[in-house]
Amino acid sequence: MIKNLLLVGLGGALGSIARYGTALISQKYLSTILPFGTLIANILGSFLIGIFLAYELENPSLNFKLLLIAGFCGGYTTFSTFTFENLSYLQNGQFGLFLLYGIGSILIGLLAVFLGFSLIKII
């Protein structure tokens, strides 16, 4: 149990550092009109989780899954998990759940950001 927590924590720390580095590099070299650091992290994180999941299917390893999938990808971006979950719905022909979860998550996420932002403004 402790080992599992340490693997997720280590992967998460490395993912968070990588995300920060991605943001710094994108701010230096790309336009700041759009949050390209976030976009890059989300897309790259989705790409990486696809690679890691495919590898893990052929080479099952709880340590690998905890360190790189739950840890690194979770620390780098939760969008990678979100896209994987939506892909699973599509692959299983669950289009209704895909629409409900995908669109619902985006709309509720936007609302949550707005509410959190608004709460701080009034405090």
Give 3-state DSSP helix, strand, coil % of the chain, rounded to 5.
85, 0, 15
* Rg of the chain in Å (alpha carbons): 16
Whether the CB-CB separation of 74 and 12 falls below 8 Å is answered with yes
> Is 77 annotated as ligand-binding?
yes
> Is 83 annotated as ligand-binding?
no
Binding residues for Na(+): 74, 77
Query: Could you tell me which residues are annotated as the binding site?
Result: 74, 77
